[in-house]
């Protein structure tokens, strides 16, 4: 069997970043470029591993832009298989997401497995119910599985999926399935420090012998491991920190299972695909940390900023970048004396940007942190500061004191779940599980 496909995730259609309307269009253009590549390369199918949209309640123009891209694929008879990410899911009271609407219209096949005791049931996708964990392509030789965003239950669902795939493998081989692709909207713990509560690499290893290609989404930093786990990153720049990951985009994957002499090691599956990460076309995003240490007056800061803009700005003229200047260090004068408009004008003069943002993250000269090793104004330390606060609060109750470190992690995950607006039942189930494992039996 020979085939090819596109793997994309985190397009975040509808994101009007910084309130700039043209940024809304940028996210759509990045998606359309992926669509055009899929058509130009005549791929057999496209997979979207979650977060097609930036938010659950999209406007009409966002829907129009999504359909404009998906219809091109539909007209070329290129199937699109998708899963819901945490940004795509419907509100609990609504029960129907916009991805389900697109599925109902026939533009995508939205995989949504029935879950039983935390484990997905491996049933074929049904167009009438729009439920099912997989679709078969290429005369049944290629099977695409999907596991949408699971939130706090991700680790448990991952274990259930690995076990289900293991149990189904013999039957699938008899049916003629020679290639298995699994989509998941989650990431690997530790890839981006501020993204917490994701499965570890060790937990993912349970899938490696049963999946040829694991198509991930959710984490906007691109990465891949061991020739079977792939995360393309975001197609456009959703935040300033993403600008450093210049190779973000999407994957073009070619499969060839017909190689002569191919031997499959049951313990370690031989990979029969070639994946190339294509960098998506996106608006240039410039982020610069401007140190203010040693500058005695605002004029000296403006001069340092102008020196940077004069040196780096001209190559960007004509392409209208987004420019973010991050003021860092210790100010020797009152921050209130800084002229925001003057700094923005300096950036506009040399970069000709579509949007300028000046963020002041400086410290006062006489600032002394409460904790000797943690500066509360250093945003990179906020996670550690929060963890210590949670530990101190938990330690006030003798019931939780013996495992206060573990409970502080539980509180962090609960906060993350609430911020992501996960279903109350899911959050409650997670908390019950942690109570059972961390508290001694009564």
Point out the residues of the chain with pLDDT beneath 50: 260-268, 367-369
Q: What does each C-alpha distance from 196 to 11, 13, 344, 376, 432 come to in angstroms?
A: 21, 24, 34, 20, 20
371 within some domain: no
b or e along 297-319 (b: 16 or more beta carbons within 10 Å of the residue's beta carbon)? ebeebbeebbebbeeebeebeee
Reference 190, options 201, 176, 175, 177; nearest CA is 201
Asked if residue 192 and residue 169 are part of one domain, the reply reads yes
Q: For residue 13, what pLDDT is reported?
A: 97
Asked if residue 264 and residue 294 are part of one domain, the reply reads no
Residues 254 and 274: beta-carbon distance below 8 Å: yes
HSE at residue 314, side-chain half, CA atoms within 13 A, is 3
Distance, CA of 18 to CA of 20 (rounded, Å): 5
Q: For residue 416, what pLDDT is reported?
A: 81
292 within some domain: yes
What six digits make up the tokens of 277? 């990460």
Asked if residue 197 and residue 71 are part of one domain, the reply reads yes
Asked if residue 123 and residue 30 are part of one domain, the reply reads yes
22 within some domain: yes
Asked if residue 224 and residue 83 are part of one domain, the reply reads yes
Q: For residue 270, what pLDDT is reported?
A: 67
Asked if residue 305 and residue 197 are part of one domain, the reply reads no
Asked if residue 179 and residue 102 are part of one domain, the reply reads yes
Residues 7 and 215: beta-carbon distance below 8 Å: yes
The total of structural domains in the chain comes to: 3
Task: Describe the chain by its helix, strand, coil percentages, rounded to 5.
Answer: 40, 20, 40
433 within some domain: yes
Q: For residue 259, what pLDDT is reported?
A: 66
Examine the fold and report which residue of 279, 314, 339 is the final residue of a domain before the chain moves on: 279
Asked if residue 239 and residue 176 are part of one domain, the reply reads yes
Q: What is the CATH number of the domain that holds 134?
A: 3.60.21.10
Asked if residue 304 and residue 158 are part of one domain, the reply reads no
- Adjacency order of strands within the sheet including 322-328: 285-291, 322-328, 355-360
Q: For residue 404, what pLDDT is reported?
A: 77
Asked if residue 66 and residue 206 are part of one domain, the reply reads yes
Q: For residue 91, what pLDDT is reported?
A: 64
- Residue pLDDT, tens place only, 293-349: 988 889 999 999 999 999 999 999 999 999 999 999 998 888 888 999 999 999 999
Residue numbers of the domain that contains 334: 285-364
Asked if residue 107 and residue 226 are part of one domain, the reply reads yes
Predicted structure pTM score: 0.80
92 within some domain: yes
173 within some domain: yes
Distance, CA of 244 to CA of 230 (rounded, Å): 19
Q: For residue 368, what pLDDT is reported?
A: 43
DSSP state of 192: S
CA torsion, ordered 120, 121, 122, 123, to nearest 10 deg:
-130
Distance, CA of 307 to CA of 302 (rounded, Å): 9
369 within some domain: no
Asked if residue 63 and residue 19 are part of one domain, the reply reads yes
Residues 287 and 322: beta-carbon distance below 8 Å: no
318 within some domain: yes
């Amino acid at each position: 069997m020979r085939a090819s496909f596109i793997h994309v995730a985190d397009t975040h259609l509808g994101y009007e970043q910084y309130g700039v309307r043209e940024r809304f269009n940028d996210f759509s253009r990045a998606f359309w470029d992926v669509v055009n590549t899929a058509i130009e390369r005549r791929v057999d199918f496209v997979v979207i591993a979650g977060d097609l949209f930036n938010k659950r309640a999209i406007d009409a123009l966002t829907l129009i832009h999504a359909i404009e891209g998906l219809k091109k694929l539909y007209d070329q008879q290129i199937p699109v298989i998708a899963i819901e990410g945490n940004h795509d899911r419907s509100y609990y009271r609504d029960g129907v997401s916009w991805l389900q609407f697109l599925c109902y219209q026939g533009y995508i096949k939205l995989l949504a497995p029935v879950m039983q005791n935390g484990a997905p049931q491996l049933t074929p996708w049904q167009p009438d119910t729009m439920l099912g964990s997989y679709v078969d392509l290429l005369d049944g030789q290629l099977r695409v599985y999907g596991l949408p965003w699971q939130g706090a239950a991700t680790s448990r669902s991952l274990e259930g999926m690995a076990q289900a795939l293991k149990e189904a493998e013999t039957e699938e081989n008899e049916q003629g399935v020679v290639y298995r692709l699994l989509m998941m909207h989650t990431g690997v713990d530790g890839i981006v420090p501020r993204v917490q509560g994701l499965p570890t690499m060790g937990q993912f290893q349970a899938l490696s012998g049963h999946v040829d290609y694991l198509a991930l989404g959710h984490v906007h930093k691109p990465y891949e491991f061991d020739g079977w786990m792939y995360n393309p990153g975001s197609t456009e720049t959703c935040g300033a920190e993403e600008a450093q990951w210049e190779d973000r985009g999407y994957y073009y994957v070619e499969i060839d299972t017909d190689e002569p002499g191919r031997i499959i090691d049951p313990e370690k599956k031989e990979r029969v695909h070639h994946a190339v990460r294509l960098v998506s076309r996106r608006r240039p995003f410039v982020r610069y940390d401007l140190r203010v240490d040693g500058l005695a007056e605002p004029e000296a800061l403006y001069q340092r900023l102008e020196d940077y803009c004069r040196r780096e700005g001209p190559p960007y003229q004509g392409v209208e970048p987004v420019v973010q200047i991050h003021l860092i260090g210790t100010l020797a004068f009152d921050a209130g004396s800084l002229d925001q408009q003057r700094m923005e004008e300096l950036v506009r003069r040399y970069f000709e940007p579509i949007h300028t943002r000046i963020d002041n993250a400086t410290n006062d000269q006489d600032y002394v942190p409460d904790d000797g090793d943690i500066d509360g104004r250093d945003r990179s330390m906020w996670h550690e500061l929060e963890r210590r606060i949670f530990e101190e609060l938990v330690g006030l109750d003798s019931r939780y004191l013996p495992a206060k470190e573990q409970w502080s992690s539980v509180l962090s995950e609960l906060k993350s779940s609430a911020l992501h607006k996960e279903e109350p039942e899911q959050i409650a189930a997670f908390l019950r599980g942690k109570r059972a494992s961390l508290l001694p039996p009564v």
